[in-house]
Amino acid sequence: MRRNYWNGRLGTALITLTIGLGGCERLGFQQAERLLPDQVEAAGFYQNFEGITAVELSGNVVVLRVKQPTSQLKRGGSLWAQVGPYIYLLSPGTRDLLQAFTGVAAVRVITYTDQDDEVARAMLVRDTMSEYQWRRSIHLLGLALKEGTTAPSRLTDLVRWGEQYTDFNYSPTYVPR
């Protein structure tokens, strides 16, 4: 008789616990983090940027393809070819994407011309930069966007900063070695 009593109590407790855990969200418990975004979610982090033609996932790397106008490259030369990926890569969007999705290992930006020639690429790996370095990146980006056409040194600062923290490659057609 004792055995049936405990089996009944144990069964009731397990059912109550199972039902109760289903409502954890309402009790304030957080859901498990989402590991990887889908393409639409990843693109949402860059919705204020122009020129992005594709946002893709390659394994656990988010890849942005960005069209860089040939006229811009002719006017700005190799400096503008170099700075292209960093405009997107060192943005608040990248920082926020990496914070929101813990399964994203890196973000890669590939710039290309109207003729589909690759200009440059850079990849930032998760946890490469501290919070201070992110703040510095975003500050340098702001200066480059605001003053870059009148003070090209702002673009150079952003490129040099970006090169310290990324794996990058520039096409020799646009950036002679």
Number of domains in the chain: 2
**Residue 175 belongs to a domain:** no
Same domain, 67 and 48: yes
**Residue 177 belongs to a domain:** no
Predicted confidence at residue 32, as pLDDT, reads 53
Predicted confidence at residue 19, as pLDDT, reads 47
Same domain, 11 and 48: no
Same domain, 24 and 106: no
Q: What pLDDT tens digit does each residue of the chain (177 aa) get? A: 555 554 555 555 445 544 454 554 454 545 456 699 999 999 999 999 999 999 999 999 999 999 998 888 988 889 999 999 999 999 999 999 999 999 999 999 999 999 999 999 999 999 999 999 999 999 999 999 999 889 999 999 999 999 999 999 999 999 998
Same domain, 63 and 123: yes
Task: Please answer whether residues 158 and 145 qualify as being in contact, where contact means their C-beta atoms are separated by less than 8 angstroms.
Answer: no
DSSP annotation of 91 = S
Same domain, 95 and 12: no
Predicted confidence at residue 177, as pLDDT, reads 83
Predicted confidence at residue 14, as pLDDT, reads 46
- Beta bridge partners, 63, equal 56, 108
Predicted confidence at residue 30, as pLDDT, reads 53
**Residue 62 belongs to a domain:** yes
The neighbour count for residue 155, using CB atoms within 10 Å, is: 23
Same domain, 112 and 158: yes
- Residue 37: left (phi > 0), alpha (psi -120 to 50), or beta? beta
**φ, ψ dihedrals at 58, nearest 5°:** -120, 95
Task: Please answer whether residues 62 and 139 qualify as being in contact, where contact means their C-beta atoms are separated by less than 8 angstroms.
Answer: no
Same domain, 24 and 110: no
Same domain, 86 and 21: no
DSSP annotation of 122 = E
Residues spanned by the domain of 4: 1-31
**Closest C-alpha among 113, 141, 116, 117 to residue 129:** 141
